[in-house]
Chains A and B, each alone.
Chain A
Amino acid sequence: MAIPDKRMTEDEVVAELRSGMTIGIGGWGSRRKPMSIVRAILRSDLTDLTVVAYGGPDVGLLCAAGKVAKVVSGFVSLDSIPLEPHYRMARQSGTIEANEYDEGMLMLGLMAAAWRVPFLPTRAGLGSDVLTNQPFLRTVTSPYPAPGGGDPEELVAVPALTLDAALIHMNRADEGGNGQFLGPDPYMDDWMALAADNTYLSTERIIPTEDFRSHGSIHTQRISRLNVTGVVEAPGGAHFTECPPDYGRDEAFQKEYAKAATDPEAWAAFEQQWLQLESEADYQAAVAARRAEGGSR
């Protein structure tokens, strides 16, 4: 057996992306986000992106940097801080277009794309302003009689959310792009990978395929290389979001991030200190130095 070698760097991933693309980002809120690739996008010339996510600071940072034309989300939150400040500002100033879905609808959109069907039906969304505010979302009438013989049911037809690229972060992966999550929840990363033309997977550690079993049960091996184009080894790559059991969320850092976001001067200083760095290695070195000073856990 020969597993292909799909290793690449964050900057090589970004070089394969284009302005105007639709990009799915895995994780959930401020949990297991592929932040090292997001930081590489922040350093790039990419712009006009459509971002599809259960959003957290990934979405906030990309909005703040003017990289985003449109956000398609079930929510954008920092979890321990309920509202993402940059996303809020982008919505309130009207600088981005927003598609706000019910959380479950977003999953169905990814599933429809994964299964290559134009839509999937659901009751979720009926009667709510998800539909009235977003008239591109249509309903479909069931071709079958309703239970008990009433009028056929009308259901929401969630359109396929086909992604040009997906970015996901796994605890472990092999060189070929098989990925393993070791925390409590896979989120929608598997569906993101299946919904995308190309999926780029960052991971805490690249390991030999035969070692997966020593890290977790077969059920944790959720991502197949069938749907992965590139693998980036990125220890600490999810920082400052959580990546259990490897590390928790850097709550002190997140607090600073959220506080800085509300003040233009403070944000400029935050950007200079944490985002206008040459490389991910520089970022990780700066985080390590901060930790040594006792600023983060």
Chain B
Amino acid sequence: MSTTDTDLGFTRAEVCCVAVAECFRGDGERLANPIGTIPMIGGRLARATFEPHLVMTDGLAGFTSETLPPGTDPYGVGADGHLAVLATMEAWNPYPQMFTVLWNGRRHVMMGASQIDRFGNQNLACIGSWAQPKSQLLGFRGAPGNTINHTTSYWVPSHSPKVFVEQVDVVSGVGYDRAAALGPAGSRFHEIRRVVTDLAVLDFETPEHRMRLRSVHPGVSVDDVVAATGFELVIEGDVPTTREPTPEELQLIREVIDPKGLRATEVKI
């Protein structure tokens, strides 16, 4: 891939942060709940720029209005031995409440995917048969409930044919074909908006909701993406290039949101 030898003034990881932020454009006053380092940075970038009313979590039990760098634990112990809350919290949102929030629908989650297929069916449960897996992964976690109740996007830090597969081993997150089979009553809150990877941005904005190559990141070719995908993507005409970070966005990412540079642990270039 022709990626590392050109000095564009920004890294691939930073392009990914911006591409993630773009997933939340238009969400307004909604819980943006990106899981993972680059997703977290991208979500906070969206809130710091074009979606200022997004609600975001501290990764634990609260909604915080502060831009906490990834990995920050906002809970400590006070001199009196009591719990000290070290960030400004908008609301208390412990796990039992989180399920209420997600069934209520005002949420857009970005999850990882160990496997994903052309209709956006996602697997993070296990590899091999579910009855006796070859490799046990995370289990279903919240994926079934998330995908059927509110908007979902995915983050794949390493785009490869092992992740983008013809058929996932286990359906954790529900894709468009499965949602359609449920009929309008079952699928009325289902939306898989985007898949952001280290190579490209993909969506499902096609008549049958098959996965489409929405844009390729600067320095990546369409052929690179096709070679790294284990099924046929919808590719319409000239595929645009993913938007480059603005100087303001780069400054926010580097100095405010991720000063320790943790984004490079997920995407190295």
**Residues of chain A at the chain B interface (Cβ within 8 Å):** 28, 54, 73-77, 82-83, 87-88, 91-94, 100-105, 107, 122-130, 132-133, 146, 150-154, 182-188, 191, 215-216, 244-246
Contact = CB atoms under 8 A, between A and B. Distances in A.
Nearest to A85: B136
B42 to A, nearest CB: 21
Contacts of A102: 140-145
B136 A87 contact: yes
B70 interface: no
A177 B187 CA distance: 44
A103 B101 CA distance: 13
Interface in B44-80: 60-62, 75-78
Contacts of A152: 185
A31 to B, nearest CB: 10
B43 interface: no
Q: Which of B99, B125, B137, B179 has the most CB of A within 10 A?
A: B99
A128 B174 contact: yes
B124 to A, nearest CB: 10
B10 interface: no
A118 B94 CA distance: 26
Contact of A74 (B77, B141, B148): B141
Contacts of A216: 82-83
B136 A122 contact: no
Interface stretch (B11-19, B127-135, B239-247, B252-260): B127-135
B83 A107 contact: no
A125 B144 contact: yes
Nearest to A77: B138
Interface pairs A-B: 5 shortest CB-CB = A124-B145, A128-B144, A184-B61, A127-B174, A104-B99
Contacts of A94: 131-132
9 contacts: A74-B140, A92-B132, A92-B133, A104-B142, A104-B145, A188-B95, A188-B96, A244-B75, A245-B84
A102 B261 CA distance: 33
Contact of B60 (A83, A128, A185): A185
Contacts of A130: 140, 144
Nearest to A111: B96
B195 to A, nearest CB: 18
Given A76-B139, A83-B138, A128 B171 contact: yes
Contacts of B142: 74, 102-104
A150 B96 contact: no
B252 to A, nearest CB: 28
Contacts of B186: 123, 126-127, 153-154
A206 B132 CA distance: 44
A244 B77 contact: yes
B171 A184 contact: no
Contacts of A127: 144, 147-148, 171, 174, 178-179, 181-182, 186-187
B130 A133 contact: yes
Contacts of B179: 127
A112 B34 CA distance: 30
A274 B149 CA distance: 44
A54 B95 CA distance: 11
A55 to B, nearest CB: 9
Interface string B168-180: 0011111000110
A60 to B, nearest CB: 12
B138 A91 contact: no
A183 B75 CA distance: 9
Given A88-B136, A153-B185, A187 B103 contact: no
B139 A73 contact: yes
Contacts of A154: 182, 185-186
B26 interface: no
B231 interface: no
A126 B60 contact: no
A77 B139 CA distance: 9
Contacts of A129: 125, 130, 170-172
B174 A75 contact: no
Nearest to B134: A92
A191 B147 CA distance: 25
Given A128-B140, A184-B61, 8 more contacts: A92-B135, A105-B144, A124-B145, A125-B145, A129-B170, A146-B185, A150-B184, A185-B94
Contacts of B125: 100, 129
Contacts of B96: 107, 186-188, 191
B58 to A, nearest CB: 9
Q: Which of A73, A130, A188, A191 has the most CB of B within 10 A?
A: A130
Q: Which of B95, B149, B185 has the most CB of A within 10 A?
A: B185
A184 B87 CA distance: 13
Contacts of A73: 139
B140 A101 contact: yes
Nearest to A134: B130
Interface in B89-118: 94-96, 99, 102-103
A180 to B, nearest CB: 12
Contacts of B95: 28, 54, 103, 185, 187-188
